[in-house]
A = this chain, B = another copy of it.
Amino acid sequence: MGKIADYLDSQQAAREERLFELLRIPSVSADPAHKDDVAQAAQWVADRIRGMGLEPEVIPTNGHPLVYAETPPVAGAPTVLVYGHYDVQPPDPLDEWITPPFEPTVRDGNVYARGATDDKGQMLTHLEGAAAVLATEGKLPLQLKFLIEGEEEVGSENIGPFIENNKDRLACDCVVISDSGQFAPGLPAITYGLRGIAYYEIFLTGPKQDLHSGSFGGAVTNPVNTLAKLLGSLTDDQGRIQIPGFYDDVVPLEQRERDEFAGLPFDEARFMKQLAVDGLSGEEGYTTLERRWARPTCDVNGIWGGYQGAGAKTVLPARAGAKVSFRLVPNQHPKDIYQALKQHLESQLPPGIKLELVDHHGGAGVKFPLDSPYMAAASKAIEQGFGTKPVFIREGGSIPIVDDFARKLDADVLLLGWGLDDDNTHSPNEKFCLADFHRGVRSSAALWLEMASAS
């Protein structure tokens, strides 16, 4: 690593400038108005890969394009597929950003921008890690395949079929993804489990138009009242989800995991202070880390109905709706949850209200074995990049594609996170610590050397 490390040190400023370039592109995949920006980000990634001496392809899909490239196979060494995404979450609410979301700004050693850590910055560490090995050694000691998508924040709908139809091309022993976090600053983590997600939208329709709540209230069923009742019925007062059958397939936490989580330096008071809340709540009988990482949830992500303007409008609304998502754990499946939710909602629907339940996207939760040779190689590589051994944790967020890789390519997945808990992913003022960016790049370069001898 000596020569590579020297090279990496000499390239810090240029590497940061490349990161900022990518962050300036507002590649918001959820918003059709940003379609061209998303395409521009894909092109940027392809150009970077071409700059490493590889031959990238920008592959069109029914949605946003994939970027793909590979290095030559190396006899006796494994093949590793690197996955990441160049699309980002919408930046709303805009007025809460200190500096604009697509003007990367450095403050206190962090770069602030939408996508800084999720996932442009983290994804880029692996391009830069491989670039450093190529620049210093002329070749890689193993085969790498890069597959970078632009629809992670809207459900990764097109990459699944692509993997299904390109199993030979994408064949690999292991998949590496950096789209998660360290456990704490300076305490890097390998995430061996992720929650899945099932995201739905509820639309309720009552009378054909908004009515006067005085003349009609009390007799005409109010869609917002109904929505509140339906959403309220999803959980009990102990935080347990009340949809019949919801917990049927849940793999319970092992005692070993509960012990490991309990041993982590998690400071609940600091966590609450960081979020500015005076208390926490959740499923009774589980710790905060267990609730965040390894138990299923129900969160209303958005709700609307009736008059939202200033002042008091005495209206009985015609319509109401909500976006509702469930974080899933192994072995829950989104399609089962859809059926159970639909039945639960329909069984409670009052007269005069019509229900539509839209299935937005979903993915199962995953858990990988802690004793694989790839896990060991990753642990050694991270120790070289960060100067300390990683801890093994789970994560509450979802990368639906991980389950696809594991099942369709029959590969282990290594989730190596360089982010931090307070990076504000999906929130205003998203950031990425630049020192961690460089440590991530060093870990990535070391990873390709360590993985070459793992099998």
> Chain A: residues with CB nearer than 8 A to chain B?
30-32, 89-90, 92-93, 96, 154-155, 181, 195, 197, 199, 201, 206-222, 224-225, 227-235, 239, 272, 275-283, 288, 291-292, 295-317, 320, 322-323, 325, 327, 350-352, 360-361, 395-398, 421, 424-429
Q: A206 to B272, alpha carbons, bound, how many Å?
A: 11
Given A311-B30, A313-B89, A396-B218, decide whether A299 and B155 contact each other with a Cβ distance below 8 A: no
CB distance B31 to A309 under 8 Å?
A: yes
Q: A388 to B296, alpha carbons, bound, how many Å?
A: 66
Expressed in whole angstroms, the minimum distance between the Cβ of A74 and any Cβ of chain B is 36
CB distance B304 to A220 under 8 Å?
A: no
User: Please, which residue of chain B has its CB at the minimum distance from the CB of A361?
Assistant: B312
Given A215-B421, A309-B31, decide whether A352 and B304 contact each other with a Cβ distance below 8 A: no
User: Please, which residue of chain B has its CB at the minimum distance from the CB of A29?
Assistant: B311
Given A281-B351, A301-B307, decide whether A292 and B216 contact each other with a Cβ distance below 8 A: yes
CB distance A315 to B228 under 8 Å?
A: no
Expressed in whole angstroms, the minimum distance between the Cβ of A308 and any Cβ of chain B is 5
Given A307-B323, A312-B361, A317-B302, decide whether A297 and B207 contact each other with a Cβ distance below 8 A: no
CB distance B323 to A313 under 8 Å?
A: yes
If A207-B275, A218-B296, A300-B317 are given as contacts, then 16 extra A-B residue pairs at C-beta distance below 8 Å, sorted by A number, are: A30-B309, A30-B311, A93-B210, A209-B429, A212-B397, A213-B325, A216-B292, A218-B299, A219-B288, A220-B275, A220-B277, A225-B231, A228-B228, A232-B232, A302-B317, A304-B308
Q: A155 to B314, alpha carbons, bound, how many Å?
A: 10
Given A231-B225, A306-B323, decide whether A219 and B292 contact each other with a Cβ distance below 8 A: yes
CB distance B281 to A216 under 8 Å?
A: no
User: Please, which residue of chain B has its CB at the minimum distance from the CB of A296?
Assistant: B218
Q: Which residues of B contact A208 (CB under 8 A)?
A: 275-277
Q: A429 to B308, alpha carbons, bound, how many Å?
A: 20
Q: A195 to B219, alpha carbons, bound, how many Å?
A: 14
Q: A307 to B154, alpha carbons, bound, how many Å?
A: 14
Q: Kindly name the residue among A30, A96, A303, A421 whose own CB sees the greatest number of chain B CB atoms within 10 A.
A: A303
User: Please, which residue of chain B has its CB at the minimum distance from the CB of A180?
Assistant: B215
Given A306-B300, A307-B301, A421-B215, decide whether A312 and B155 contact each other with a Cβ distance below 8 A: yes
CB distance A311 to B352 under 8 Å?
A: no
> A306 touches which one: B288, B303, B429 (CB < 8 A)?
B303
Expressed in whole angstroms, the minimum distance between the Cβ of A288 and any Cβ of chain B is 5
CB distance B215 to A395 under 8 Å?
A: yes
> A283 touches which one: B218, B311, B429 (CB < 8 A)?
B218
> A282 touches which one: B218, B320, B360 (CB < 8 A)?
B218
Expressed in whole angstroms, the minimum distance between the Cβ of A10 and any Cβ of chain B is 35
Q: A73 to B364, alpha carbons, bound, how many Å?
A: 82
CB distance B325 to A314 under 8 Å?
A: yes
Q: Which residues of B contact A224 (CB under 8 A)?
A: 231, 299-303, 322
A-B contact pairs, 10 of them (CB 8 A): A212-B425, A212-B426, A217-B297, A225-B234, A225-B299, A228-B231, A228-B303, A279-B350, A303-B303, A304-B304
CB distance A221 to B281 under 8 Å?
A: yes
Expressed in whole angstroms, the minimum distance between the Cβ of A447 and any Cβ of chain B is 24
Q: Which residues of B contact A299 (CB under 8 A)?
A: 213, 217-218, 222, 224-225, 316
